[in-house]
Amino acid sequence: IYVLGNTKNELGGSEFYRLMNEIGLNVPKVDMDANRRLYETHHEAVRQGLLRSSHGVYLGGLGVHLALVSVAGDLGASVDLRKLAAEGVDQDYQALYSESAGRFIVTVSPENQAAFENVMDSQQYALVGQVTSDQRLCIQGLSGDLIVNEAVDDLRRAYHSTFDQEVNAILDSDKYQAATLPQNFSWVRPTRTRKPKVAVLTGYGINCDGETQHAFNLAGALAERVHMNELINRIRLLEDYQLLFVPGGFSYGDELGAGTGLANKIYSHMKDALLDFLDAGNLMGGHCNGAQVMVKLGIIPGKDEYGLPLMTLTKNDSNRYEDRWVYIQETGDKCIWTKGIGRMLVPVAHGEGKFYSKDEGIYQRLLDAGQVAVRYVMPDGSPAGENFPYNPNGSHLDIGGVCNESGTVFSMMPHPERALYNVNLPTRPVGSPVARKVDEGLPVNAGIQIFQNAVNYAELKLI
């Protein structure tokens, strides 16, 4: 087990200080040049196949992330903090919980050890321990004493216990509603004489492009996955399509904030091309990471703010990644994408899904203009009231999706492309078939409506 990078006494603003009701002044400082060199060297070790595993060290510090990788691998570890590459660290808690930036925990097989150390020769790193098969995390402190000796199963139970406390509090609440079974959805595949062309953006960490392409094709479009670089280099032309869609995923690893990296790339390389595309009355949509991209581009709530976003999508109130099923309800009829969808059961999977603006007037502007397209609701259709888990991120006014002034540009955090078929749902809809014949298609679910609405509108432009 190696720790790459330098550990310093940098606990200011850390999770450890938060638990101690402290703030601290010694916040982590980022050495961009040193970090870049370390990342490039780390990448070279990956490229040569020298690593068995790699995990970043961030919130919580080294101690927390040693526990996390032990739980994830269901293996033990024996670690000696005295071997850590450190600066200004003279207390065990500093070594365990400092949040110095740019570090990794990596594991290397014995046969690759010499080659790995040769690659890392110019960087700060330290061999701090060994992976063990006894399923215990053992850590020796700076004095040589054993300061941590925990079973991996106990670490796993401790990790889940905080979630259990939250869930139990929800179940005991008088606001709790059990999920209702979705109703069976009847759908007939459209026959189209003209098929609108859809560019489903891909590249740089987008990973929902496959199911999104399938959703548009199922709705009767001709959808193609188009790499961002193909549009930038004009290998493919945006003007050849009637609809542009930015799927979910983790573009640029969310390292600059969810959606920020890809939004900056689009603005820097395709600013005028995108404006011309939208000015022509074409459609643009995005779900989850795609919604984050669009909001941070500034084309939501309106293109007058293009490049100067008035809203953002920020961290969930739960301060963690939320992967669950929620109910959304269409709001008004301005948004072309959501007309007639009613109430729908869809999955969410995001860590930064809270629609937020520091300008309270933006919320009223959205309401007055009918630009709040969908809201999170309770299973019975009543307002979620910003209550978790029905509103999974704490968005003000339970906003789940917004559109532009004309209703043609739409961004939403939930994933309808993951709710296209009954078999995708967590429970079988009332009245749906239990089984199907081999030559029959899967029963289609309500998630298709959003894609079909967009394709219907785009088809009219071809007539």
| Catalytic residue annotation | 288, 415, 417
Q: In what order do the strands lie in the sheet with 146-151?
A: 129-132, 76-80, 136-140, 146-151
197-202/243-246 β-pairing: parallel
Instruction: Collect all residues with Cβ–Cβ distance below 8 Å to 164 and sequence separation of at least 6.
Output: none
Strand partners, 322: 350
Chain Cα centroid distance, residue 168: 26
Please, which contacts does 124-127 make with residues 24 or more away whose CB atoms are closer than 8 Å? 124/4, 124/5, 124/6, 124/38, 124/85, 125/2, 125/3, 125/4, 125/5, 125/85, 126/2, 126/3, 126/83, 126/84, 126/85, 127/1, 127/2, 127/83
The pair of three-digit structure tokens given for residue 228, joined into one six-digit string = 């961002």
Pairing of strands 222-227, 197-202: parallel
Cα of first residue to Cα of last residue in the chain, in angstroms, is 63
d(CA 382, CA 395): 16
Q: Are 402 and 355 in contact (CB under 8 A)?
A: yes
The contacts of residue 126 (CB under 8 Å, 6+ apart) are 2, 3, 83, 84, 85
Answer whether 453's CB lies under 8 Å from 339's CB: yes
C-alpha–C-alpha distance, residues 370 and 406, integer Å? 10
ω before 389 within 30° of 0 (cis)? yes
* Residue pair 412/176 in contact by the 8 Å Cβ criterion: no
Total number of residues shown for the chain: 463
Q: Which residues contact 320 (CB under 8 A, 6 or more apart)?
A: 351
